[in-house]
Structures are given as C-alpha cells and as structure tokens.
Amino acid sequence: MDAALDAGIHQFNVESEPELEALSALASAKGMKAPVSLRINPDIDAKTHAKISTGRAENKFGIAWSRAHEAYAHAQSLPGIAIVGIDVHIGSQLTELGPFRAAFDRVAELVASLRAAGHGIERIDLGGGLGIPYQPDQPAPPLPSAYGAMVKEVASDLGCQIITEPGRLIAGNAGVLLTQVIYVKDGEDRRFVILDAAMNDLLRPAMYDAYHGIAPLIEPGPDAGRMTADFVGPVCETGDRFAKDRQTTTLAAGDLVVLRSAGAYGAVMASSYNTRPLVPEVLVHGADYAIIRPRIDVAALLAQDQLAPWLA
C-alpha cells in the first residue's frame, strides 16, 4: 500500500474493512487521501472452475452485498479515504455472458442507491475475464464485441468511467511452452512421454486439471504414426502430468513439442520447485525475437539460500 500511494496509482480496490482502515491510516500519515473502490461480492455463480470463481458469497473475496451501504458509510468516515467507485469480480475463464450480465445489473442498481445515499460513485471496475477455448471441441467464448455491447447496455447511462480486466483473453493464446521429449517410457499399462518441462513451469494442469493442447513443433508428414500416452514431467510428484491418455503424433526422445495456450497463468505461476530454474521467456515479433526473462542458473538459485551462523 505504501508503495502504491507513493506511485499515485489510479485506485485501490479494497477487499475488506480492516484493509480499508489500514489504508486510511497509511494515507493519513502521508497527508494523502487514497482513491478507493470497494470490492463488493455480488454472490453470482460465474459457471467457471471452482478454484477461479470469485463472486460467490462463499468465496473469500470482497465485502458482502448486504453490507455494501454500511461499508461505504464507514469508508466515508475515514480521513485517508476518497471514495471513487465500485469494484466487482466474479471469476476467470468465463465462457458465457449471463453471469456477467447478472453481476453488472446488480452493480448498476448499487450505483444508484449509493448515489442516493450521498456517495460519489465515478468509476465501476467490472472484473472477471472472458475465457479462451483451450480444447479443440470447446465452443468459442463470446467475442469481446458482444461483451462490450452488453457492458454498454448496462452501464452507458450511469455516467461512470468503466474499467475492465480482460487478462487471459489478451495473453492466453499468445504464448506456448516449448519443451523437449527426454524419453518415451512404456509402463505396465500405459505409455509415458517424459518432457523436460514440469509442473513448476506450467502449473495449471496439476492445479486445475486444465487442458492444454500438445503438438510437435515440426508439423508431421502425412505418413506419421499415432500414439496414445500420458505427458509428464520429471518432478517427483504423480501430479506432474500435463495430459492423460492424449492422442498425438508418434514422438521420440529429442523431439520438440509445444503446450498451447500457455500465455496466461503460465510464467507468472511458475516456481523453482525441485531446484528447477525458471525457464527463459522469449518474445517473438515476426522474424525477430528477444529474451525478456533470462534463465536463472542453478548456482544463482542456490545462492539465495544461506547457512545459519551456528551451522556454518
């Protein structure tokens, strides 16, 4: 919060009253007022994966809808707070407009009632992101134009600045994870393609049972064989698996493969688990490329740990 106040960010989306009070104290000590939108939980089912649903009453996010007016009255009484808007976020990877519409209709009603109570609501932050089609047979989510038309229909008469959070829609299909086959191993009742990438590089399959398309980097010829296998990494976890019983072109050790749709929640969720350095990130623009995050070598990774004086 301290750094954000010094940077003069556009607004703070505040999740709770304790957070609101902490922010007010910091801002007051600096002789400032923090611009605040309160995140209100609309209790709307986003119809997405349970681990990325954020707008139900049972979720940890935001202030209960029934307490919205009480929270805004409290915010207005704090010396370091300037109320500017309302924030709502119902989840990620939404593939229907219905949950958005239900949540945003509630926001529009709340804007009217808060203004009637004397609160200056200038902005609405409409969080929750449109999804992308990870699976080949998955229907395409609504187009951004359809989403935009719905937002205009709900919010155009409110006279508010509208903030949206498209995230995954922009980045998801812009990135892939490039990896190499180490071995192809035949187990007792299944075949394993062991990759040099692991769950620490792309966590989504292990965390969410998420689907990512897998394909050879070099397009196979018309006579290429087919195989069914589990695609796994070398980390010491049974959950280190990218795909189960996946059909693909026959692969062998040394082949390069890509895991598709890895541009969102890929690199940012990566870790150095099992002392595996973060992989480099490469930005490609036509025939040009640039390394935008270099690989950290193992020595640099180990150097972050230090012996306690009594063990040296």
Would you state the torsion angle of the CA atoms of residues 241, 244, 246, 249, taken in this order, to the nearest 10 degrees?
A: 40
Provide the 8-state DSSP code for 191: E
Q: State the Cα–Cα distance between residues 199 and 213, nearest whole angstrom.
A: 15
CATH number of the domain residue 92 falls in: 3.20.20.10
The residue out of 145, 169, 193 marking a domain boundary is 169
Q: Among the listed ranges 130-134, 174-178, 200-204, which one has the minimum average pLDDT value?
A: 130-134
pLDDT of the residue at 127? 87
| pLDDT of 237 over the 70 cut | yes
CATH number of the domain residue 200 falls in: 2.40.37.10
* pLDDT (average), residues 54-70: 84
* Cβ–Cβ under 8 Å, residues 186 and 199: no
pLDDT in tens, 287-306: 999 999 999 899 999 999 99
Count of the separate structural domains present in the chain: 2
Q: State the Cα–Cα distance between residues 277 and 298, nearest whole angstrom.
A: 6
146-to-105, 150, 157, 165, 264 alpha-carbon distances in Å: 16, 6, 18, 15, 22
Residues 152 and 245 both lie in one domain: no
**Alpha helix (H) ranges present in 10-137?**
17-29, 68-77, 98-116
* pLDDT (average), residues 63-80: 95
The residue out of 169, 192, 209 marking a domain boundary is 169
pLDDT of the residue at 312? 80
Phi, psi dihedral angles at 54 (to 5 degrees): -125, 0
| pLDDT of 201 over the 80 cut | yes
pLDDT of the residue at 46? 66
List residues with catalytic annotation.
236
Q: Give the torsion sign (CA, 212, 48, 90, 108).
A: positive
pLDDT in tens, 104-144: 999 999 999 999 999 999 999 998 888 999 998 888 888 99
Q: Which domain holds residue 48?
A: 1-169
* Residue that is written with structure tokens 């529009």 in the block: 108
Residues 182 and 164 both lie in one domain: no
* pLDDT (average), residues 227-241: 97
